[in-house]
Every structure is written in structure tokens, then in C-alpha cells.
């Protein structure tokens, strides 16, 4: 199908279908090599471990191939208009995945491309991560409906995508963050609309105790994302009370799982005791990037 995945909202009506497809793909229940002879261009303006390897291997396992393109490999890095890059690549490949600095660049690329564009991360959202996260939640908790996830820390791109996907799947969500680090206002507005439609609840607070009430999933991310390095000292000070440690995990429901999109800094946003402990599912979560993204590739690129 034509269309692009820049935001969780782009798949609002098909989130459950894609996650169900991801489960079937992981279980080996789809036809072999469904993307045979298909090619995915992968544009990376930001470095990556999970995004690059999971998309590359995922395309291979689906029968296609992926081409890695860094900023140094593209004329776009030397000033070629995004319009021209979109039109040229569309003549060569069947889909484009881009991990970009600015969300607006990805929107412009998708506007002018004649093939599907998939966001591998921007400063605004990370939809593929959210899909992988929710696949992991279902595997460990059995279902989404009636569960609650709490994001602790910076209201960043990962938090934004989780806010959109959680209510679509029947989950409540809370965000525990210091004042001044709340999620994007437009994202919150849309998330609350989705919550109203699905009888779920969104809460944003700087009170960790309130945020962790009856929580089944505790999620955190680095305090200093790529591009925020100049604010590192201030961020570390502001986020110190929001470190996910054993005491904080004790506020969640018994049996709650811990999640982190990685990379992580042990001793900063999370203690080693938690991230390497029995409640942590971070490596299942990382593996599920590939399975979720294979479902996305199938959804957008299968004839």
C-alpha cells in the first residue's frame, strides 16, 4: 500500500493489525520471502545500532535488500533539496526508511516521495520503537487492555509515540517528569482524544508516587538525547529524583516489567540492579524492533 509511517497516528486504525502481523511474522506464520526483489533505502542522519541492524536484517529475512545511506553518501548532505532526493530515490527503490534529526525533513521527504517513507526516529516521534514496545508488552503481560504504562523521565520522542499508541490499545498511561520536561502539547492533545475514544486515561505529573500507582510497565530513557548535550549538566540535576531504582519499581504493581529503548546509562536514568534484574525485558524489546519493523515493511511494501 502507498502511504508513510511518520507518526503512530498514521496507523491509528491498523495498529492492532500490524502488531498481530508482527506476532505472526515472529512465529514464522507468513509466506516465505514476501518482499522478494524489493529494495529499501535506509537514510541515517543519526547513528544507530538497533535501527540499522533490525531494518537491514529484517529486509533480508523478508526476501529483499537494504541499502545504507549516511549523510556522507547522499548529495542531500551537500545541500541537494529534499524534493530532488525524494524523487530520485523513488525511481530506484520500493521504500525509504529515514532516521533523521528534524521531523520536518521526514515530512518533506514523505510529501514528495513516490514510495512509502518509514520513520526510524525523529526529534518528535519514534513510531517503530512504540510498536516494538507494545509487542513486548503483550508477550509478557498477555494483553494490553486494562494495563497501565508509566514513562519516567524526559517527555521526548519515545514518550510521544507511547502516548499515542497506549490508548489505541486500551492502555492507561502516566508520565512522571520534572516540570519543564513535559511531552509535546499537540501530542498530549491527540493522546487525550484517543484516550477519550477508548475509555483510557492519560496523566502527566511531577509526582512519581501518583504516576506509579497501579502500573504494569515502568519505562525510561536516557536523560540526555542526541542534540541535548549542551544541557547535560542541568538535565542530570533535574532528572536525578526520577532515576528508576528498586525503590521506584516497588511503587508499581507486583510483577511489573521494566522497559528501556536503549542505549542506557546504568547508574544514571536506571540502576544496574533494575535494568539487569528479573523485571527487565529490555533485550526482548530490542529483538522485537526487528519483528515489528518487518510487519511495517510488509504492511507498506507488499504488493
User: C-alpha 101: how far from its chain's center?
Assistant: 15
- 126 flagged as catalytic: yes
Cα–Cα distance measured from residue 193 to residue 180, given in angstroms and rounded to the nearest whole number:
23
Catalytically annotated residue among 52, 126, 235, 291: 126
- 261 flagged as catalytic: yes
Catalytically annotated residue among 52, 235, 260, 289: 289
Catalytically annotated residue among 50, 52, 99, 260: 99
Cα–Cα distance measured from residue 133 to residue 291, given in angstroms and rounded to the nearest whole number:
11
Q: At a CB cut-off of 8 Å and minimum separation 6, what does 271 contact?
A: 243, 244, 245, 246
- 99 flagged as catalytic: yes
Do residues 148 and 173 lie in contact, with contact meaning Cβ atoms separated by under 8 Å? yes
Catalytically annotated residue among 129, 243, 279, 293: 129
The full DSSP string for 227-239 is: T-GGGHHHHHHHH
- 50 flagged as catalytic: no
Catalytically annotated residue among 221, 235, 260, 293: 221
- 221 flagged as catalytic: yes
- 235 flagged as catalytic: no
Catalytically annotated residue among 235, 261, 291, 293: 261
Q: Report whether the peptide linkage leading into residue 263 is cis, meaning its omega lies within 30 degrees of zero.
A: yes
Cα–Cα distance measured from residue 301 to residue 303, given in angstroms and rounded to the nearest whole number:
6
State residue 220 phi and psi, 5-degree precision: -140, 170
Active site positions, annotated? 99, 126, 129, 221, 261, 289
Amino acid at each position: 500500500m502507498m502511504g508513510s509511517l511518520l507518526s503512530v497516528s498514521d496507523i491509528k486504525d491498523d495498529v492492532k493489525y500490524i502488531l498481530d502481523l508482527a506476532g505472526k511474522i515472529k512465529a514464522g506464520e507468513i509466506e516465505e520471502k514476501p518482499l522478494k526483489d524489493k529494495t529499501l533505502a535506509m537514510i541515517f542522519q543519526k547513528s544507530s545500532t538497533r535501527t540499522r541492524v533490525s531494518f537491514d536484517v529484517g529486509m533480508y529475512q523478508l526476501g529483499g535488500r537494504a541499502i545504507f545511506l549516511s549523510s556522507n553518501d547522499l548529495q542531500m548532505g551537500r545541500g541537494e533539496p529534499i524534493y530532488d532526493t525524494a524523487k530520485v530515490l523513488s525511481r530506484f527503490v520500493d521504500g525509504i526508511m529515514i532516521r533523521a534529526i528534524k521531523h520536518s525533513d521526514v515530512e518533506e521527504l514523505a510529501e514528495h516521495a513516490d514510495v512509502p517513507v518509514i520513520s526510524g526516529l525523529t526529534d518528535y516521534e519514534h513510531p517503530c520503537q512504540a510498536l516494538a514496545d507494545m509487542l513486548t508488552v503483550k508477550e509478557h503481560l498477555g494483553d494490553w487492555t486494562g494495563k497501565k504504562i508509566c514513562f519516567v523521565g524526559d517527555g521526548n520522542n519515545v514518550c510521544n509515540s507511547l502516548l499515542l499508541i497506549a490508548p489505541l490499545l486500551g492502555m492507561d498511561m502516566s508520565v512522571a517528569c520534572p516540570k519543564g520536561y513535559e511531552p509535546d502539547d499537540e501530542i498530549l492533545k491527540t493522546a487525550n482524544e484517543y484516550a477519550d475514544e477508548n475509555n483510557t486515561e492519560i496523566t502527566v505529573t511531577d509526582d512519581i508516587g501518583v504516576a506509579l500507582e497501579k502500573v504494569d510497565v515502568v519505562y525510561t530513557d536516557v536523560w540526555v538525547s542526541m542534540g541535548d548535550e549542551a544541557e547535560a549538566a542541568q538535565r542530570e540535576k533535574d532528572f536525578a529524583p526520577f532515576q528508576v531504582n528498586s525503590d521506584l519499581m516497588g511503587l508499581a504493581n507486583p510483577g511489573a516489567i521494566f522497559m528501556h529503548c536503549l542505549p542506557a546509562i546504568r547508574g544514571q536514568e536506571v540502576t544496574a540492579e533494575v535494568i539487569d534484574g528479573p523485571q527487565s525485558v529490555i533485550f526482548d524489546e530490542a529483538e522485537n524492533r526487528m519483528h515489528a519493523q518487518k510487519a511495517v515493511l510488509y504492511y507498506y511494501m507488499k504488493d
